[in-house]
């Protein structure tokens, strides 16, 4: 059984012989083709993080010492990468909302395949998009003078954090879209992402904050995720590793925060999906 959407994207919706992984691959492929046909839907995901890296580091270059290694760009580049990964995840929610409005998602629901496969395909696409944005922003930041003293492990922890955030953001978007089934939910999805990122150490370290923001940032899981993402870029301010490198003490709180967020938002998305097919 094959479905063709309005944009010409073709997806084999599965026969008895088509496995879940094959369907996930096809859905990811459809998403990639969607980017090629409508690049305008993806370009902001790429441009905005690069823009943030440039503006924030340009504006706060004078306060380099506050960011640990004297270079504001090293502080802001991982933040912009995490933000780009979150946007990459969120756009999956938007494209799913469009599928609802055009009726294409109903055809997915009629197909003889596991509903979890639909979520899996969307998450696969989110991961692929975030790999692309992460690499692009990292290249721009490197050209701009960012060094990674943490080495390969530092880059790995950055990618791990970015991929985790893209999955969490996609689950958040999907959970809302499955409930509202309209592109009108877009602003709510974006506000959720903006608030969770900016109410953390996205802009400055906790020590530099004043008032209520420091209290909120301390309990926001995004703070630990950003700490993990920055592990290879700036010295950790809470528990510096011996020498300059990526320490386990910087990694495990981020991994726990990511796992917890993904589990909670995963349940949110799955429950939303179950409402669609009682």
Partner 1 sequence: MTAASVPAAQAANRPQALRQSLQLSRRAVSSMLRQPQVLVPSLFFPLFFCALNAAAFDRITGAEPEFAAQFDSFLDFLLPATVLQGVLFGSTQAGTEMANDIEIGFFDRLLASPVSRTSILVGRLAGGALLGAAQALFFTGILTLFGASVKGGVGAVAVLVVVSSLLAVGIGGFGVTLGIRTGSAEAVQGAFPLIFVLMFTSSAFFPRDLMSGWYRAVATYNPISWILDSLRDLQTLGWSAEDALVAIVTAAGLAVLSIVVALGALRRRLRTTT
Which residues contact partner 1 (rule: CB under 8 A)? 40, 44, 47-48, 51, 54-55, 58-63, 66, 187, 195, 198-199, 203-204, 208-214
Beta bridge partners of 10: 4
Q: Which is nearer to partner 1, 210 or 277 (CB)?
A: 210
Residues 6+ apart with CB under 8 A from 118: 27, 108, 273
* Cβ at position 68, least distance to partner 1 in Å: 13
- Residue 76 three-state SS: helix
Smallest CA-to-CA distance from 250 within 235, 232, 231, 234 is with 231
What element of type H or E holds 12? strand 10-12
Q: Which is nearer to partner 1, 21 or 47 (CB)?
A: 47
* Cβ at position 103, least distance to partner 1 in Å: 19
* Cβ at position 158, least distance to partner 1 in Å: 22
* Cβ at position 60, least distance to partner 1 in Å: 7
**Contact yes or no for 119/20 (Cβ under 8 A):** no
Smallest CA-to-CA distance from 47 within 154, 146, 137, 174 is with 137
Residue 12 — φ and ψ, nearest 5°?
-75, 115
- Please count the residues of the chain: 278
Q: Which is nearer to partner 1, 62 or 143 (CB)?
A: 62
Q: Which is nearer to partner 1, 62 or 243 (CB)?
A: 62
Q: Which is nearer to partner 1, 187 or 243 (CB)?
A: 187
Largest separation between any pair of C-alpha atoms in the chain = 62
* Cβ at position 243, least distance to partner 1 in Å: 28
């Amino acid at each position: 059984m094959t479905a063709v959407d309005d944009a010409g994207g073709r997806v084999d919706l599965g026969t008895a012989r088509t496995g879940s992984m094959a369907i996930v691959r096809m859905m990811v492929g459809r998403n990639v083709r969607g980017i090629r046909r409508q690049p305008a839907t993806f370009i902001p995901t790429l441009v905005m993080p690069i823009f943030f890296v440039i503006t924030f580091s340009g504006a706060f270059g004078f306060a380099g010492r506050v960011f640990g290694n004297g270079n504001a760009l090293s502080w802001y580049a991982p933040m912009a990468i995490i933000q780009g990964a979150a946007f990459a995840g969120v756009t999956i929610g938007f494209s799913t909302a469009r599928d609802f409005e055009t009726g294409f998602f109903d055809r997915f629901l009629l197909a003889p395949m596991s509903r979890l496969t639909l979520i899996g395909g969307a998450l696969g696409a989110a991961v692929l998009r975030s790999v692309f944005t992460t690499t692009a922003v990292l290249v721009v930041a490197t050209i701009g003078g960012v060094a990674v003293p943490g080495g390969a492990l530092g880059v790995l922890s950055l990618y791990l954090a970015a991929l985790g955030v893209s999955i969490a953001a996609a689950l958040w978007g999907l959970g809302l879209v499955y409930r509202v089934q309209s592109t009108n939910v877009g602003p709510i999805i974006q506000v959720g992402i903006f608030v969770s990122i900016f109410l953390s150490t996205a802009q400055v370290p906790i020590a530099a904050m004043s008032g209520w923001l420091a209290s909120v940032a301390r309990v926001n899981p995004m703070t630990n995720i950003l700490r993990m993402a920055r592990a290879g870029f700036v010295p950790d301010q809470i528990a510096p590793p011996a020498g300059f490198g990526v320490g386990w003490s910087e990694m495990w709180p981020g991994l726990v925060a990511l796992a917890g967020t993904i589990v909670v938002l995963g349940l949110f998305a799955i429950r939303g999906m179950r409402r669609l097919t009682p």
